Amino acid sequence: MQVALVTGGNSGMGYEVVRQLAQDGMTVYLASRDRDKGITAASELSGAGDVRPVRLDLADEASMRAAIARIEEEQDRLDLLVNNAGVALAGNSPDIIATVFQANLHGPVLLTQLCVPLLRKSKAGRVVNVSSGAGRFSFLASDYLKMNPEQLYYAYPISKTALNGATVMLAKSLEQDGIRVNACCPGRVATKLSGMQGKTPAEGAAIIVSVANMSAHGPTGGFYDETGKIDW
């Protein structure tokens, strides 16, 4: 039985990723910042399979280390890390920019680094970074983002551009260990982050799970959506 860790697993798309992975027969650690919400979500998903709540805050390294230590104690390896958690906030204040980059870039990268020893113990270790088409250069250069420069809320798209860059760097550095690292774009999904507009969380989750399964013995350092591989 494979072992997975999914951040932001207590709601929205992450919740559905946990469900689908558990239904596929994995032991899934459902990570959430709020311990009680994680416990409630894991209980709701217990019928899908082996779902275990764990507290993990991407702004708290100690919580990351504690979560990894628990997985090591119980499983002694990690097969799949899904960096799903993320935030989108309007505004350009230093606090907003710091919060977005911590959740969308610094936290996921550090968590991946901390998980490397357990991923190395897997026969098919892989990492899936949930990114966004909003971080693609073609999107940033499109007319969609033509707006008053004083209201150019750049934290979210640029944090995803940076996450894409980190994906390539991690893929290259972990290739010798046989660990695959890919990014995916689930598209506009009806969650709090998108204002409840777009495809269903289950549909968005299916893309993430597909990339996770593809990368088990497949390519690394790529960016994928529901149509296949896309440019950065």
Tell me how many domains the chain contains: 1
Query: Sorting pLDDT into bands at 50, 70 and 90, what band is 90?
Result: confident
Query: Sorting pLDDT into bands at 50, 70 and 90, what band is 145?
Result: low
Q: What is the CATH number of the domain that holds 25?
A: 3.40.50.720
- Which residues does 202 contact at the CB level (< 8 Å), separation at least 6? 16, 19, 20
Q: What pLDDT does residue 199 have?
A: 87
- The first and second tokens of residue 18, run together, are 């946990």
Q: What's the mean per-residue pLDDT of the chain?
A: 92
Q: Is the pTM of this model over 0.85?
A: yes
Tens-place pLDDT, residues 36-85 = 999 999 999 999 999 999 999 999 999 999 999 999 999 999 999 999 99
Tens-place pLDDT, residues 4-32 = 999 999 999 999 999 999 999 999 999 99
Active site residue 29: no
Burial of residue 163 (CB within 10 Å: 0-12, 13-18, 19+) is buried
Lowest mean pLDDT of 35-44, 143-152, 207-216, name the range: 143-152
pLDDT at 136 over 80: yes
Tens-place pLDDT, residues 179-212 = 999 999 998 886 655 555 678 999 999 999 999 9
- The first and second tokens of residue 59, run together, are 């702004």
Range of the domain at 128: 3-229
For the chain, the farthest-separated pair of C-alpha atoms sits apart, in whole angstroms, at 52
Catalytic residue of the set 144, 154, 156, 224: 154
Query: Sorting pLDDT into bands at 50, 70 and 90, what band is 142?
Result: confident
Q: What pLDDT does residue 99 have?
A: 97
Contact (CB, 8 A) for 25 and 16: no
